[in-house]
Amino acid sequence: MAETMQFDLVSPERSLMSAQVKSVQIPGADGDMTAMPNHAPLITTLRPGVLKVETDKGIEEFVVTGGFAELGESLSVLAERAVPKADVDQAAYEAMVDEAHAAYKQTKETFKNEPGPVDDAAKLLADMVAVGTHIGLSPKQPSL
């Protein structure tokens, strides 16, 4: 039997999953990574993406919008918002993209001469749109 580790997925409102898992694919801010048992301790922030959890029973997927992951003896993912992939329909997805659009627009207005925050917001939006291609949905509005 393959080695397993404790995995917790919590959002501010509730705890979504707590189980022994074989591996977890995390959408890290600097790129995707797969955490397996005995991984070196690590803290990373998340970008919007799909979290893929592999357990003995199969693979479960969640859409997360941001947050961070702490990987030590066990893995805890603290997502800002996490939804099981099956629960994300077109309407929910569009709402998420619209939100990112609004945030982008607002940031652009507030920080007219600072590229930093605007780029961050643009990246967030692009990531959010990219989530759609992973789960087979396309947004109403194009990326930019």
Partner 1 sequence: MPNLKDLKNRIASVKSTRKITKAMQMVAAAKLRRAQDAAEMARPYTERFNAVMGALASSVGDSDSAPKLLSGTGKDDVHLLVVLTAERGLCGGFNANIAKLAKQKATELKAKGKTVKILTVGKKGRDAMKRDFGNLSVGHIDMSDVKRIGYADAQGIAKDILGRFDAGEFDVATIFYAKFVNVVSQTPTAQQVIPAAFDAPEQGTAEASTLYDYEPDEEAILADLLPRGVATQIFAALLENGASEQGARMSAMDNATRNAGEMIDKLTIEYNRSRQAVITNELIEIISGAEAL
Q: Which long-range contacts (CB under 8 A, 24 or more apart) does 130-135 make?
A: 130/48, 130/49, 131/48, 131/49, 131/50, 131/63, 131/93, 131/96, 132/93, 132/97, 134/49, 134/50, 135/50, 135/63, 135/85, 135/88, 135/93
Q: Does position 111 bind partner 1 by CB under 8 A?
A: no
Least spacing, CB of residue 9 vs partner 1, in Å: 10
Q: Does position 117 bind partner 1 by CB under 8 A?
A: no
Q: Does position 6 bind partner 1 by CB under 8 A?
A: no
CA distance 34 to 36: 6
| Residue 57-96 contact track with partner 1, rule CB under 8 A, x = bound | ----------xx-x-x---x-x-xx---------------
Question: Residue 74 corresponds to which tokens in the numbers above?
Answer: 């066990």
| Residue 28-57 contact track with partner 1, rule CB under 8 A, x = bound | xxx---------xxxxxx------------
Residues that bind partner 1 (CB under 8 A): 8, 10-15, 28-30, 40-45, 67-68, 70, 72, 76, 78, 80-81
